[in-house]
Amino acid sequence: MQRLVIYARSWPAESSRWAAILWLCLAAALGTGCAVLPEGIVGPRSKAMPASSTTTLGRVAQAASPDRELSGFRLMPGGDFALDTRLELARRAEQSLDVQYYHIENDETGRFFLRALRDAAHRGVRVRLLMDDLYTSGEDNLLLGLAATPNLELRLFNPFPAGRSSLVKRFAASLLSFDRVQRRMHNKLFIADGAMAVAGGRNIGNQYFRRTSGANFLDVDTLVAGALLPRLGQLFDQYWNSEFVVPVEALMTSDATPTERRAEFERLTAPDTTPAPLPPAPNDLLGYGPVVTELNSGKIGLVWARAEAYADSPGRVVGKTSSYGGVPLLDVDSVRYNVREEIRRARSEVSITSPYLIPGQGGIEVFEEVRGRGVKLSILTNSLAATDEPLVHTSYRRYRPAMLRLGVDLYELSSARTRASVRLGL
């Protein structure tokens, strides 16, 4: 039986931007003081709500399951279907939404997504939204307005202590905590009513769903139901209740009343600047139609299998680090360890898609081990022209000859396989 393994990893912030940001911060720090977060700022603990047959999503998921120990999956390679599925789950939610993202952009897609969460909270759905704090500069009014919504909590992971108006000022004010603030939460998870979830590589923004004429990221999301949902809820709770997560109201200040903040959110996300996305095509690349049709019928088509889900501990922001990835090599709870172990267990074939492929010597040894048993190994990664992180590509090139010598089927994505004006990358 095939196995699906879902991972969420905390990484240092993007390396190719790092040197420039650091030098700008050092210069800015000459005119600013360093700041640290006040201690003891944590929100009340809470837990993910389990699936229930009293909700529509719970009934549909339960009816589709052939076995209580199996999980159902549907790959979503198309951005239009991946976005539409998230929005439809938000519309259908009756009990809870647990939402975790590295980056929700302040663009048409991001604002419409936030409005969908706000609308769910208005219906009485408990909404817990967790965002990494790296890219929230200048968005205080938007986020405070959303957080003023009853039934909705908004928290930020590993926040910066000061300098909220710009990224450079943030790092300049955080030099005393530099090792901490450069470690970010890249988890991406959307759980509706504890019954269905979307996991995958997409953040929330135009460029992740092919809604911009400039550079676009290609990715694959997975619709999930069944036995894996409680585990996904546990992974969300692990971050939500961690000491590195702070309620947004404790970081941002405003003299406005909650009513005024909600009105400001309404203004910032008004339909004239936040149009609804176009409906998806009749069928995606895999032949599936929009999820709304199946939910209306009470039946949903999924592929059922045994699966595991892993996420690096939020405590890694201050924990022991290794030479790469910020995770000790033999940490059995880490994504790094479990990815390698899953590859080692392969009997016939391993397929990997990774935008930032740096296997390291340990990874090369694992590849050599499985190739020695005749396991087919296929990898898709970015070419230099497609990547948004040239320094990562430079590191990857060091290992490319070794992978080719081992007989790895290695593919690099071209940046422009369609119109020359559209740049594509993983």
Long-range CB contact pairs, 281-286, < 8 A, 24+? 281/78, 281/80, 281/81, 284/76, 284/77, 284/78, 284/80, 284/81, 285/77, 285/78, 286/74, 286/75, 286/77
The model's pLDDT over 56-80, given as tens digits with 9 standing for 90+, comes to: 999 999 999 999 999 999 999 999 9
- Residue 228 to residue 236: CA distance in whole angstroms: 13
Q: Is 132 helix (H, G, I), strand (E, B) or coil?
A: strand
Q: Looking at residues 27-46, what average pLDDT do you find?
A: 63
pLDDT at res. 335: 87
Assign 322 a pLDDT band (cuts: 50, 70, 90): very low
Assign 423 a pLDDT band (cuts: 50, 70, 90): low
Give the Cα-Cα-Cα angle 68, 202, 193 (nearest 5 degrees): 40
Res 89 pLDDT > 90? yes
Q: What is the DSSP letter of 400?
A: H
Domain annotation for the chain: domains and CATH numbers: 3-297 (3.30.870.10), 346-425 (no CATH)
What's the whole-number average pLDDT of the chain?
Answer: 87
Q: Which two tokens stand for residue 359?
A: 């296997």
Ramachandran class of 285: left when φ > 0, alpha when ψ lies in -120 to 50, beta otherwise: alpha
Res 325 pLDDT > 50? no
Query: What's the pTM?
Result: 0.88
Assign 288 a pLDDT band (cuts: 50, 70, 90): very high
| Count of beta carbons in the 10 Å neighbourhood of residue 384 | 12
User: Which stretches of 95-139 are DSSP H helices?
Assistant: 108-122
Res 15 pLDDT > 80? no
pLDDT at res. 282: 94
Assign 178 a pLDDT band (cuts: 50, 70, 90): low
**How far, CA to CA in Å, does 290 sit from each of 79, 112, 226, 284, 381?**
12, 19, 20, 8, 28
pLDDT at res. 11: 52
**Stretch among 10-19, 35-44, 103-112 having the lowest mean pLDDT:** 10-19
Q: Which two tokens stand for residue 363?
A: 């990874």
From the list 178, 83, 183, 176, the residue with the least C-alpha distance to 133 is: 183
Please check whether residue 325 is in contact with residue 93, taking contact to mean a CB–CB distance below 8 angstroms. no
Q: What is the DSSP letter of 256?
A: S
Which residues 6+ apart lie within 8 Å of 419 measured at CB?
none
The model's pLDDT over 228-261, given as tens digits with 9 standing for 90+, comes to: 999 999 999 999 999 999 999 998 889 999 999 9
Q: How far is CA 374 from the centre of its chain?
A: 34
Provide DSSP, 300-368. ---EEEEEEEEE--GGGGTS---SSTTS-TT-TTSHHHHHHHHHHT-SSEEEEE-SS---HHHHHHHHH
Q: Looking at residues 355-381, what average pLDDT do you find?
A: 96
